[in-house]
Amino acid sequence: MISNKAKKQIDAWVAKYPEGHQSSAVMEALKIVQAENDNRLTSDTIQAVADYLAMPGIAAAEVATFYENYNHKPVGKHTIRFCHNISCMLNGSDELITHLENKLGVKTGEVTPDGLINVKKVECLGACVGAPMFQIGDQYYENLTADKIDEIVDGLK
């Protein structure tokens, strides 16, 4: 359930913490395992992470269900994490999210019929100076406008 490649990546995170505190790597471990399992976590994959880190399954599940970084149902190839917190909201994120939903023909939380894109509303991503903004993968897109969104989304494959 956890590939050797993922185990090596997790081990690198575990090595950053004092011996016996391997569970401190749980957030990154969940992220790594999610990435290699269609970008989502199941109770089995969460338990596999817990077992690998020698921690209680419930503790890993608490982390996996608390943070917005983790998906628990099928998502598209690209997840657009659109911030709708205060700075982004004051700079038009609600209208832009509606624009994006209309462009894609899906509501927030749904996946486009081709399985390519889903949109998720998230809280502040720490890029308020560039509000309104969203994140796709590790990339931040800031100072968004409807035209910029169209250009970005049209470039997703």
Q: Which residues contact 39 (CB under 8 A, 6 or more apart)?
A: 71, 75, 77, 79
Q: Which of 30, 80, 88, 96 binds ligand FES (CB under 6 A)?
A: 88
Distance in Å from the first CA to the final CA of the chain: 27
- With respect to ligand FES, which residue has the nearer C-beta, 116 or 122? 122
Chain residues 125-154 in contact with ligand FES, contact rule CB under 6 A: 125-128, 131, 133
119 contacts ligand FES (rule: CB under 6 A): no
Judged by CB under 6 A, the stretch of 57-65, 84-92, 105-113, 143-151 that binds ligand FES is 84-92
CA-derived radius of gyration, the chain: 17
Q: Which helix (H) or strand (E) holds 102?
A: helix 93-104
Binding residues for ligand FES, per CB under 6 A?
Answer: 83, 85-88, 124-128, 131, 133
